[in-house]
Amino acid sequence: MGQGVHMQELPGIGKRYDIDLGSATQRVSVVVRRGDIRDLYVFTSKGDEPTAVLELSREQALKLGAVLTGTFFEG
Amino acid sequence: MGQGVHMQELPGIGKRYDIDLGSATQRVSVVVRRGDIRDLYVFTSKGDEPTAVLELSREQALKLGAVLTGTFFEG
């Protein structure tokens, strides 16, 4: 599963994961900050400016992740 | 984990999951379409228009989900 994901250490901040979507314009990045806050950056146009940025708590990131991976069940 | 996620059947399309981010303006929705395409909608302002929309293949959704849930490891 490593293919298509590029991880970069951000000293003092955490780790940044870039997920390749096989598109010149569409890209998504997640910054996992120390303290477990996860920032989701969505790029839908060329350039370095994200189209949308969301700050997710660990719990919110787990919920979104579960929906995306198909492991979410109504509790 | 069911709390904070609202699922709605979209007849003929698939299922829509709304993930509550505890904010009046920030929201994220995922539509899991038949055929396994997942559409990610990010809302960062009031109103019904998403700020960003991404179409993810199953594999791309799994990668993003793994990063968000902290289960991603370099392969």
Q: pLDDT tens per residue, chain A (75 residues)?
A: 456 899 999 999 999 999 989 888 899 999 999 888 999 999 998 888 999 999 999 999 999 999 999 887 655
pLDDT, position A2: 53
User: Is the four-CA dihedral A50, A51, A56, A58 of positive or negative sign?
Assistant: negative
Q: Which of A2, A34, A9, A5 is nearest to A18 (CA)?
A: A5
ipTM over 0.85: yes
pLDDT, position B25: 87
Kindly determine whether residue B60 and residue A17, on different chains, have CB atoms separated by under 8 Å: no
User: Within 13 A of A37's CA, how many CA atoms are on the CB side?
Assistant: 7
Residues B68 and A61: their CA atoms lie apart, in Å, by: 5
Per domain, the residue ranges of chain A are 5-69
Interface contact A8, partner B, CB < 8 A? no
pLDDT at residue B74 greater than cutoff 80? no
Chain A, window 21-60: residues with a beta carbon less than 8 angstroms from a chain B beta carbon: 21-22, 26, 28, 30, 32, 38, 40, 42, 44, 51-56, 59-60
